[in-house]
Amino acid sequence: MKYISTRGNVEPRGFIETVLMGLADDGGLMIPAEIPVISPATLVEWENLSYQELFLEIFLYYVNDEIPLEDLKEMVAKSYSTFRDPAITPVKPITDKLYVLELFHGPTFAFKDVALQFMGELYSYISKKQGEIIHILGATSGDTGAAAIQGVRGKEGIRICVLHPHQKVSKVQELQMTTVNDANVLNLSVKGNFDDCQRIIKELFGDLGFKGEHHLRAINSINFVRILAQTVYYFYAYLQVVKTNKDASINFSIPSGNFGNVFSGYLAKRMGLPVNKLIIATNENNILERFIQTGEYKPGDFLSTYSPSMDIQIASNFERYLYYLVGEDAEKVSAYMKKFQDEGQIVIGAEAMQQVHAEFAAYGVKNAECLQVISKYKANHEYLLDPHTACGIAAYETYSGDNEVCVSFATAHPAKFDEAIKLCNIEQVLPAEIQQLLVMPQYQTIVDNSKEEIVKQLEAFYSRATDVVEN
Ligand SMILES: Cc1ncc(COP(=O)(O)O)c(C=O)c1O
Ligand SMILES: N[C@@H](CCOP(=O)(O)O)C(=O)O
């Protein structure tokens, strides 16, 4: 398997090179040159595999022989040994038409752990095997940063810097990142929003001299391995649900911001998973909903909502979908992305939009509706949704059809967003792991929303660091 860029100006690369490249060197995003197709017979054979076994089966289509099977197995075992549920991502029935896929049983109580526990192991493996220095640079609206820090904590040869928007993440998210006082962790709290943080890190990854000099590596969903690791739970959930819903069409409803999780579902679909519709749920930052409705992809004004992790205007992975939408034509993607940069919008024609509508539905959830859904599911089903998950459920309710079953993603545990839960007059008991954070000291540097300021911070961070990679 080789990997190429959505913009067509990167020589095909292997799996590990692709992981290390993160953002493609031509500014695009890496994707497989050809997507492997899993046959219906193979899907049946996978029906009773554990999560870890399924992960291995899927990854074997992608890693070539660059990682020996025994090493991959060991990494996968370690990655998921930290999860609190033996099923890793259990599927819970709520009604006969609705299942919730709980993706929050990892160390930081959000879906990001599923991929980032593995990426921590993978980076550590590459660092040891190849003597690679790994300097992770990431942007977060709250969950990726916490999960990435936990994923690499205590791992030799790795340093991590995470940019989060100052006072625009929940208290628990902030504490999960900033109570870590390890010498190899730097938390920068940027006076801006998530889009600013993402723009700055993309600019730094795009400066190939700076990226090479400082060995910058990505943990955001710009890195293809994040996308791939997230496809596993689509397969896992489908294989559980189909057992009792043989003739139903199966939809997935996905709380969305950066479009990484949805794109993983799209990849699963192209790999042959018989998904009916991917339902994109956003909050009031609804660029994706507006795109699906009008064909116009254009950022609006940034709004702070009860689901802060989805307070995102520019959905990074949209470019990966665009590549497939325009018939895998990298020149067209480059032209569209240039237009987006110069004019701030992309418009897709009516014919292509028919294809979009065959694959996706989208719904933007207003703040008040988000709280109503949390209250309703607590009262009617004794199930407490976090505000992101509630957006997914509201979108499912809007698009549930006859003979359709929906798997709605629970992307975070409600304890991470107690601010919103309290507004519903619901008292929850916080898990001990979260409770203990509330009294810990915090370590973070508040910085201006400027690339130059971040560069200064990074250079100081790297000059402080002294650890050596051992083979
Ligand atoms: C809890 C939660 N739900 C949903 C999302 C949106 O996922 P994506 O950015 O992959 O669209 C995020 C952030 O990514 C998140 O942290
Ligand atoms: N919601 C995310 C934003 C970053 O998304 P990613 O999937 O590209 O890492 C977060 O919680 O940080």
Per-residue pLDDT reduced to its tens digit, 142-152? 999 999 999 99
46 CA from centroid of ligand 1 (Å): 27
pLDDT attached to residue 34: 98
> With pLDDT > 70 as the criterion, what percentage of the chain qualifies?
99
309 CA from centroid of ligand 2 (Å): 7
**Whole-number Å distance between alpha carbons of 265 and 287:** 19
> With pLDDT > 90 as the criterion, what percentage of the chain qualifies?
97
Start-to-end Cα distance in the chain: 27
pLDDT mean over 412-429: 98
Main-chain phi, psi angles of 90, to 5 degrees: -65, 150
What's the farthest any 2 CA atoms get from each other in the chain? 61
pLDDT attached to residue 401: 87
Nearest ligand to the CA of 147 is 2
Question: Minimal CA–CA distance to 287: which of 262, 318, 261?
Answer: 318
pLDDT at 342 over 50: yes
Active site residue 277: no
Q: Which of 387-396, 410-419, 460-469 has the lowest mean pLDDT?
A: 460-469
470 CA from centroid of ligand 1 (Å): 35
Nearest ligand to the CA of 197 is 2
Looking at residue 14, what DSSP letter applies?
A: -
What is the value of ipTM here, to two decimals? Answer: 0.99
pLDDT mean over 34-59: 98
Does any ligand 2 atom lie closer than 6 A to the CB of residue 142?
yes
**Whole-number Å distance between alpha carbons of 279 and 277:** 6
305: in domain: yes
Does any ligand 2 atom lie closer than 6 A to the CB of residue 151?
no
Residue 175: partners with Cβ closer than 8 Å, 6 or more residues away: 437, 438, 440, 442
326: in domain: yes
With beta carbons less than 8 A apart as the criterion, state whether 105 and 85 touch.
yes
Does any ligand 2 atom lie closer than 6 A to the CB of residue 193?
no
With beta carbons less than 8 A apart as the criterion, state whether 450 and 420 touch.
no
User: Total domain count for the chain?
Assistant: 1
Residue 326: partners with Cβ closer than 8 Å, 6 or more residues away: 332, 333, 336, 352
Does any ligand 2 atom lie closer than 6 A to the CB of residue 144?
yes
Q: How many helices (H) and strands (E) does the chain have?
A: 20, 15
Nearest ligand to the CA of 148 is 2
Q: Over the stretch 350-402, which tens digit does the pLDDT of each residue have?
A: 999 999 999 999 999 999 999 999 999 999 999 999 999 999 999 999 998 88
Q: Which of 141, 144, 217 to mutate to test the pocket of ligand 2 (most atoms within 8 A of CB)?
A: 144
Tell me the residue range of the domain where 380 lies: 91-108+226-423
Does any ligand 2 atom lie closer than 6 A to the CB of residue 165?
no
**CATH value at residue 392:** 3.40.50.1100
9 CA from centroid of ligand 2 (Å): 26
Tokens of 391: 């957006």
With beta carbons less than 8 A apart as the criterion, state whether 176 and 256 touch.
no
Question: Minimal CA–CA distance to 122: which of 258, 51, 208, 223?
Answer: 223
HEC profile of 36-105? CCCCHHHHHHCCCCCHHHHHHHHHHCCCCCCCCHHHHHHHHHHHHCCCCCCCCCCEEECCCCEEEEECCC
pLDDT attached to residue 469: 42
pLDDT attached to residue 471: 37
Torsion angle of alpha carbons 256, 259, 261, 265, nearest 10°? 110
pLDDT attached to residue 465: 59
Burial of 137 (0-12, 13-18, 19+ CB in 10 A): buried
pLDDT at 467 over 90: no
290: in domain: yes
Question: Minimal CA–CA distance to 122: which of 111, 109, 136, 110?
Answer: 136
Q: Over the stretch 243-253, which tens digit does the pLDDT of each residue have?
A: 999 999 999 99
Phi-psi region of 93 (alpha: psi -120 to 50; beta: other; left: phi over 0): beta
Does any ligand 2 atom lie closer than 6 A to the CB of residue 316?
yes
pLDDT attached to residue 153: 93
At 177, which helix (H) or strand (E)? helix 171-178
Atom 11, ligand 2: residue with shortest CA distance: 143
Q: Which of 109, 114, 141 to mutate to test the pocket of ligand 2 (most atoms within 8 A of CB)?
A: 141
pLDDT attached to residue 174: 98
Of all atoms in ligand 2, which is nearest to the CA of residue 257? 1
Confidence of residue 307 (pLDDT cuts 50, 70, 90): very high
Residue 158: partners with Cβ closer than 8 Å, 6 or more residues away: 120, 123, 124, 127, 134, 135, 136, 152, 184
**Whole-number Å distance between alpha carbons of 252 and 266:** 10
254: in domain: yes
Looking at residue 13, what DSSP letter applies?
A: B
pLDDT mean over 122-142: 97
233 CA from centroid of ligand 1 (Å): 15
Which residue among the candidates 2, 78, 92, 112 is catalytic per the annotation?
Answer: 112
pLDDT attached to residue 76: 98
Nearest ligand to the CA of 144 is 2
pLDDT at 468 over 50: no
pLDDT at 470 over 50: no
371: in domain: yes
Main-chain phi, psi angles of 403, to 5 degrees: 50, 25
With beta carbons less than 8 A apart as the criterion, state whether 168 and 309 touch.
no
pLDDT mean over 195-203: 98
Question: Minimal CA–CA distance to 152: which of 122, 172, 131, 176?
Answer: 122
116: in domain: no
pLDDT at 69 over 60: yes
pLDDT attached to residue 284: 98
